[in-house]
């Protein structure tokens, strides 16, 4: 048996959820050590999803910087310089 097209979920029309489902909340709480095995699964606090928006201008600049950064290590830069560049890029992403 097949599902009627109106009942099938489509990725195009799927909205971003603002709150996680119970299983997702449990997984997140386990990672943060706020819930342990055997605790009650009902009455859990709601957890908002993290939405990341990147402006098109910034994304284009970062892509150019990444391309330039990838070319420099390939040109024979020292391994320490490559590690420092990678850490700097990770720090920028973490700030956003």
Taking residue 77's Cβ as centre, other Cβ atoms within 10 Å add up to 14
The whole-number pLDDT of residue 88 equals: 75
Which DSSP symbol is given to 75?
Answer: T
pLDDT, average across residues 6-29: 78
pLDDT, average across residues 18-40: 87
pLDDT at 39 exceeding the cut of 80: yes
The rounded distance, in Å, linking the Cα atoms of 8 and 6 is: 6
Where exactly are the structural domains of the chain? 16-51, 56-95
- SS3 at position 48: strand
pLDDT, average across residues 46-67: 74
Evaluate whether 89 touches 62 at the Cβ level (below 8 Å). no
- SS3 at position 81: helix
Which DSSP symbol is given to 19?
Answer: B
Q: What is the mean pLDDT of the chain?
A: 75
Is the pTM higher than 0.75? no
Higher pLDDT, 69 or 89: 89
């Amino acid at each position: 048996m097949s599902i009627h097209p109106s009942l099938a979920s489509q990725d195009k029309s799927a909205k971003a959820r603002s709150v996680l489902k119970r299983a997702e909340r449990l997984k997140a709480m386990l990672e943060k050590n706020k819930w342990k095995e055997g605790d009650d699964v009902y009455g859990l606090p709601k957890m908002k999803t993290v939405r990341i928006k990147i402006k098109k201008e910034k994304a284009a600049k970062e892509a150019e910087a990444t391309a330039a950064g990838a070319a420099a290590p390939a040109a024979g830069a020292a391994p320490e310089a490559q590690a420092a560049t990678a850490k700097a890029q990770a720090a920028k992403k973490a700030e956003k």
